[in-house]
Chains A and B, each alone.
Chain A
Amino acid sequence: QKEVEQDPGPLSVPEGAIVSLNCTYSNSAFQYFMWYRQYSRKGPELLMYTYSSGNKEDGRFTAQVDKSSKYISLFIRDSQPSDSATYLCAMSPRSGGYQKVTFGTGTKLQVIP
């Protein structure tokens, strides 16, 4: 079993739709949860990060963590064609010093105008 599982998609939605992207994980030591966005032929860029359980909102993006279920989600409201990218979840045990970050394989999202 992989430490982090992520549906590769592709996920195709019409403009304006609400998008839900998800990851499951098996390592209960993970405390920090991140979402990266990667445009085609570019490097990943950090979109959001959260610590432990709960929600975090930033504009049209909401990150949720449910540690009891080992499940994290990224919601995109009012999706735009510019949101078309691959979204990678990532997680690590704690901050401070070097911590191994484990990445999901990414979900490819296409928002159709």
Chain B
Amino acid sequence: NAGVTQTPKFRILKIGQSMTLQCTQDMNHNYMYWYRQDPGMGLKLIYYSVGAGITDKGEVPNGYNVSRSTTEDFPLRLELAAPSQTSVYFCASSDLSRETIEGYTFGSGTRLTVV
């Protein structure tokens, strides 16, 4: 069981370039999330999705876009990369349809540097 798979693991972008961070989960989870993690700042929610075709903004959505065409995939698009987007990006999924919260399953992260 692969869980949540993120690609690429590392990437260096130049200012103004664009890229897509890929995220796939094989647990049939309804909910998927994108977080960024900066030193001393904790996890900040960028976007989330409660199902295929439904996405919504989190705390820090500016400069990012998402889509959810299937249950499994939740790509994050960076347009016009800026140095402030240098961070570690985590994709996560969860199944909150049951009464008991079971937490998130995180991917291993994408380390992005914008120079």
Instruction: Tell me the A residues contacting B by CB distance below 8 Å.
Output: 6, 8, 32, 34, 36, 41-46, 49, 51, 88, 90, 92, 95-101, 103-106
Contact assessment for B101 and A49 in the assembled complex, using a CB-CB cutoff below 8 Å = yes
> Inside 8 A of A100's CB, which chain B residues have their CB?
45
Q: Is B12 an interface residue (CB 8 A)?
A: no
Contact assessment for B101 and A32 in the assembled complex, using a CB-CB cutoff below 8 Å = yes
What is the predominant secondary structure among interface residues of chain B facing chain A? loop
When A95-B96, A98-B48, A99-B96 are in contact, do A46 and B102 touch as well, CB less than 8 Å? yes
Number of contacts between A and B (CB, 8 Å)?
Answer: 61
What is the predominant secondary structure among interface residues of chain A facing chain B? loop
Contact assessment for A42 and B96 in the assembled complex, using a CB-CB cutoff below 8 Å = no
B-side interface size class: 20 to 34
The 5 closest A-B pairs by CB, nearest first: A43-B106, A46-B103, A95-B101, A105-B42, A103-B43
